[in-house]
A and B are shown apart, each in its own frame.
Chain A
Amino acid sequence: MNDVRDEALALADETIALMRAAGASDAEATVSVVDRFSCEARGGELTKLQRSRGRTLSVRAFVGTRRAAFSTTDASRDGVAELARRVVAAAAFVGEDPHAGLPDAFADDGVCDHDLFTVAPDVAERDDEEKIAEALGMERTIREADDRITNSQASRVGDAIASWALANTRGFRGVSQGTTVSRSSAPIARDGDRKRIGNYGTAARGWATAEAAQAVALHAVHRALALCGARKPATMRVPVIFERDVAAAVIADVFSALNAANVATGNSWLADRIGARIGSERVTIVDDGRLRGGLGTSPFDAEGTPTRETVVFEGGELRTYLSDVYWGRRLGIASTGNAAGGGVGANNLFLVPGNGTLDDLVANTERGVLVLDTIGFATEHASGVYSRGARGIYIEDGVPMYPIDEFTISSTLPEMLAGIDAVAGDLRFDGTIVSPSFRVAEMTVSGS
């Protein structure tokens, strides 16, 4: 494995030298190499099998304060030289931007001497045949679990070993590596003359720490069956409980508003709100780039800035945005170590958990809706308007009454954060943006 990292770093070094030769005053090169395996089974058949290694070279170059970039899967010397020439020429047409440039200084040399547990050795060791057997096993499990499960959109098992190297002309050189594994299943239940699909998946750094295949399959079955017999609810304003996966999607929407690039361009409802009380006292949101074994953990970000733990909301008060170097300079704040893929990304962003279970949230809700799944992507980040198609369970007197679907839930993100009045303790780090289940005191449920 060290070979991969060494080769990647050598290519990054060569590339920044080429950029200099082409006329760049500063340059940064990132080489990522990913070895990926995935398999998919449906019924008793292995339906897909994939194994590949992919390499991508991404470069940022500066000609004075003018910025240019390229990425390529063709890392041949000729290919890179041609792109270097092309982007340096194009940079002449870019406006001067005093904020553009590499990070000024590095507190850390980036070559990590602290183990953040991003590599699980069992990923490289595990045999592909075992993973194939596991996918086939999940298909058996979902069909044996309930007579109503008669079909599926497949069960999948996959893993990846990602290695990357970063070098820049200010002397930063760093390498890092991470493993990921994933399991998912999508059983389809017969519900009268309709079909109900249940989707569930999980991810982790290694096989030993991932949710077991059997549990993933059964959870997916539960999701398919939970909605059987669903009806359309009446239009009402009631408390809405978000199960942890849909809760995480809400936190992902909040991240878009925390993204310094959106804040600086006015495309965020959180612009100009630092220090303001936005959420309820239960809203503490943290981004921790150094969480041991976290799926978004890395010793340094995409610009070489050391990652860190950043408290974004504390007791409902907005403390800071998440930023890379450029957008931080635009806003007058330091990078929070959130540079990713040419922009700003979350590392491990989560709502700090409370106590109790999802069932407790339901039991403490007089009349309301538990949302298990949402569809649609549209959130208006400038205004914070939030609206989703949803499916879930209608609650009365703290008791789940019957499944409901074909309705929307809507509000605005500021009203939702202010309205979070209960947070469960069921947080799991199975993604880079995660959340425990929570309840919003009131939202519009639009049905019939």
Chain B
Amino acid sequence: MQGLDAALLARILTRALRRGGDFADVFFEHRLVQTFRLEEGRIREASSSVVRGVGVRLVVGERAGFAYSDNLDENSLLRAAEAASLIARDGRAAGSVADLGAQPAPALYEPHPDEPADSARYVELLARADVAARGFDPHVASVNAFITDELQHVQIATSDGRIVTDRRPLVTLGVQVVAKDGGRRENGYVGDGGRTAIDVYEGRTPESIARESARIATVKLDARDAPAGEMPVVIGPGGGGVLLHEAVGHGLEADFNRTGTSLYSGRVGERVASELVTIYDDGDLLGERGTVAVDDEGTPGSHKVLVEAGILQGYMQDRLNARLMGVASTGSGRRESFRVLPQPRMCNTYMPSGTSTPQEIVGSIERGLYATSFSGGQVEISKGDFVFMIAEGYLIENGRITAPVRGATLVGNGPRAMEKVTMVGNDARLANRSYTCGKGGQRVPVGVGIPTVKLASCTVGGTAR
């Protein structure tokens, strides 16, 4: 079953609005995920998961009442609606539900079959990754790989009269490699996929993903301890886009701005970055991880200009916050599952190309750090301080990329780091499709991207003495 019938949806919405309220919505979800895991050259486990249920929400001003049910019988669903209605506490007249009309979501995903593929196909992809990683270098000590193939059906009914459905595929193949040299161990991880079917691995082969992961792990065996202190930092294209996600993106989510808790609150139209900085968040890029044909509130995913030539243009909005701020939702209302409330979230966040060549950028630095990719990033919203670990990084010496470093962390403050962007490369690209963002305990798939970018200075946390 891929949804509830319109008459039942109307009864649930009517119940949710019975104590009054501004709007109600019902979120139905059915998600099937098929996973295979490989370790030590063998497929160790096959697993499936089904997430199926309904979340009911009532919104009154800035207040949200919420309940979910994994039981789809009418009594359970009406009980959830009743629980959600309790947020309306001032005894107003019942709200009304408009006639529900169905709307299809636009097509923004690559084709995906209704059922998972033959198990043999997943197993073959993993086996190829394993062989490629082991064959890469004799120091490769262990290889773990997984593949997940997911298909999520959602149906969103809103009290203003819409029923929207979406069918979202998502595949990921990830390879983790541990390389060992004497007592020293280093790891590498690379994943890729997207909102598509596993046919994507015919072009982006498991071998290429595995070799990339093995390369990172083995390079780090020769890495020296990272330097500590302030220095110029070059962000590599693609994966370096995590910088934008953490340093700027979260601070532009509407909830933090509507409540005045973000450092970007009330600053639309102001300069928040160097004039070289433009940042977009797109929900409508074909096949990307963060793409949503419609978000989890039924609003189409869209192209948003967050920052243009250093000037803050707007925030990422969900329905509740957009309504209170007097603007339209930008299609940014996303949720991990039917068991939690939607929040304003990023989709695919990136910086378009500038004019410098990557060689000019690296060549301009006498001593600094080159960060290819990041892991474990986090930002503190109110002040804008961010941190992330450099998963792969190198020293820059006399205008050239030289020795690999390990254990480097970048720490800084969002607007101040963005003010220090002094060169932007002509090589913008989106990163591998493997990023997941956490906020308030909810994880959703996202995309990031960036060209080669120079930060004139940033604090590097290293261990070199």
B185: contacting residue among A188, A266, A410, CB under 8 A:
A266
Tell whether, in the assembled complex, residue B382 and residue A52 are in contact, meaning their CB atoms are under 8 Å apart. no
Q: Interface readout for B395-412 with A: 1 if CB under 8 Å, 0 if not?
A: 000000000001111011
User: Within 8 Å CB of A355, what residues of B?
Assistant: none
Summed over the interface, the residue pairs from A and B with CB atoms below 8 Å come to a total of 268
Tell whether, in the assembled complex, residue A446 and residue B68 are in contact, meaning their CB atoms are under 8 Å apart. no
Inter-chain CA distance A94–B378, complex, in Å, is 37
- Range, interface on chain B: 35 or more
Tell whether, in the assembled complex, residue A376 and residue B382 are in contact, meaning their CB atoms are under 8 Å apart. no
Asked if A196 lies at the interface with its beta carbon under 8 angstroms from chain B, I say: yes
CB nearest neighbor in B for A73: B70
Asked if A377 lies at the interface with its beta carbon under 8 angstroms from chain B, I say: yes
Inter-chain CA distance A219–B49, complex, in Å, is 41
Q: Which residues of A contact B (CB under 8 A)?
A: 42, 45-55, 67-75, 79, 83, 86-87, 89-97, 100, 151-153, 188, 194-197, 232, 235, 237, 265-267, 269, 271, 375-383, 385-389, 391, 405-412, 444, 446-448
Residues of B26-85 whose CB lies within 8 A of A: 34, 36, 39-40, 42-53, 61-71, 80, 83
Tell whether, in the assembled complex, residue B70 and residue A69 are in contact, meaning their CB atoms are under 8 Å apart. no
B461: contacting residue among A90, A100, A409, CB under 8 A:
A409
Known: A376-B388, A405-B385, A406-B385. A446 touches B178 (CB 8 A): no
User: Within 8 Å CB of A447, what residues of B?
Assistant: 229, 459
Tell whether, in the assembled complex, residue A267 and residue B462 are in contact, meaning their CB atoms are under 8 Å apart. no
Inter-chain CA distance A379–B15, complex, in Å, is 48
Tell whether, in the assembled complex, residue B48 and residue A90 are in contact, meaning their CB atoms are under 8 Å apart. yes
Tell whether, in the assembled complex, residue A375 and residue B42 are in contact, meaning their CB atoms are under 8 Å apart. no
CB nearest neighbor in A for B389: A378
Tell whether, in the assembled complex, residue B463 and residue A444 are in contact, meaning their CB atoms are under 8 Å apart. yes
B463: contacting residue among A51, A197, A412, CB under 8 A:
A412
CB nearest neighbor in B for A268: B185
User: Within 8 Å CB of B180, what residues of A?
Assistant: 266
Q: Interface readout for B231-273 with A: 1 if CB under 8 Å, 0 if not?
A: 0000000000000000000000000100111010000000000
B47: contacting residue among A68, A188, A266, A389, CB under 8 A:
A68
Known: A195-B383, A383-B185. A265 touches B39 (CB 8 A): yes
CB nearest neighbor in B for A391: B385
Tell whether, in the assembled complex, residue B461 and residue A446 are in contact, meaning their CB atoms are under 8 Å apart. yes
Known: A91-B46, A383-B185, A444-B461. A47 touches B62 (CB 8 A): yes
Tell whether, in the assembled complex, residue A151 and residue B47 are in contact, meaning their CB atoms are under 8 Å apart. no
- What is the interface of chain B mostly: helix, strand, loop, or mixed? strand
B259: contacting residue among A86, A153, A378, CB under 8 A:
A153
Residues of B366-387 whose CB lies within 8 A of A: 375-383, 385-387
User: Within 8 Å CB of B261, what residues of A?
Assistant: 151-153, 188, 195, 197
Inter-chain CA distance A67–B44, complex, in Å, is 7
A266: contacting residue among B46, B178, B220, B339, CB under 8 A:
B178
Tell whether, in the assembled complex, residue B339 and residue A375 are in contact, meaning their CB atoms are under 8 Å apart. no
Asked if B228 lies at the interface with its beta carbon under 8 angstroms from chain A, I say: yes
Inter-chain CA distance A134–B385, complex, in Å, is 31
B68: contacting residue among A54, A95, A382, CB under 8 A:
A54
Asked if B142 lies at the interface with its beta carbon under 8 angstroms from chain A, I say: yes
A93: contacting residue among B123, B144, B263, B339, CB under 8 A:
B123
B336 CB → nearest A CB, Å = 13
Known: A70-B50, A266-B141. A387 touches B407 (CB 8 A): yes
Inter-chain CA distance A245–B220, complex, in Å, is 31
26 contacts between A and B (CB under 8 A): A48-B64, A48-B87, A52-B67, A52-B69, A54-B68, A55-B70, A67-B44, A68-B47, A72-B49, A72-B52, A73-B70, A74-B70, A83-B50, A87-B47, A90-B34, A152-B261, A195-B382, A197-B382, A266-B185, A375-B387, A378-B375, A386-B407, A410-B228, A410-B463, A446-B228, A446-B409
Tell whether, in the assembled complex, residue A48 and residue B50 are in contact, meaning their CB atoms are under 8 Å apart. no
User: Within 8 Å CB of A86, what residues of B?
Assistant: 48
Tell whether, in the assembled complex, residue A406 and residue B411 are in contact, meaning their CB atoms are under 8 Å apart. yes
User: Within 8 Å CB of A47, what residues of B?
Assistant: 62-64
User: Within 8 Å CB of B462, what residues of A?
Assistant: 387, 410, 444, 446
Asked if B452 lies at the interface with its beta carbon under 8 angstroms from chain A, I say: no
Tell whether, in the assembled complex, residue B339 and residue A408 are in contact, meaning their CB atoms are under 8 Å apart. no
Inter-chain CA distance A79–B63, complex, in Å, is 35
Inter-chain CA distance A79–B64, complex, in Å, is 32
Tell whether, in the assembled complex, residue B259 and residue A448 are in contact, meaning their CB atoms are under 8 Å apart. no
Asked if B430 lies at the interface with its beta carbon under 8 angstroms from chain A, I say: no
CB nearest neighbor in B for A90: B46
Tell whether, in the assembled complex, residue B383 and residue A51 are in contact, meaning their CB atoms are under 8 Å apart. no
Asked if B187 lies at the interface with its beta carbon under 8 angstroms from chain A, I say: yes
B360 CB → nearest A CB, Å = 28
Known: A48-B63, A197-B380, A410-B228. A376 touches B387 (CB 8 A): yes
User: Within 8 Å CB of B71, what residues of A?
Assistant: 55
User: Within 8 Å CB of B87, what residues of A?
Assistant: 46, 48-49
Given contacts A376-B376, A383-B187, A410-B462, 15 further A-B pairs with CB under 8 A are: A67-B44, A69-B45, A73-B52, A74-B70, A92-B119, A195-B261, A195-B383, A265-B142, A267-B176, A375-B385, A377-B376, A378-B388, A389-B461, A407-B459, A447-B459
Tell whether, in the assembled complex, residue B63 and residue A70 are in contact, meaning their CB atoms are under 8 Å apart. no
Tell whether, in the assembled complex, residue B36 and residue A93 are in contact, meaning their CB atoms are under 8 Å apart. yes
Q: Would you list the 6 A-B pairs with minimal beta carbon distance, nearest first?
A: A408-B461, A378-B376, A389-B387, A378-B389, A95-B42, A90-B46
User: Within 8 Å CB of B176, what residues of A?
Assistant: 267
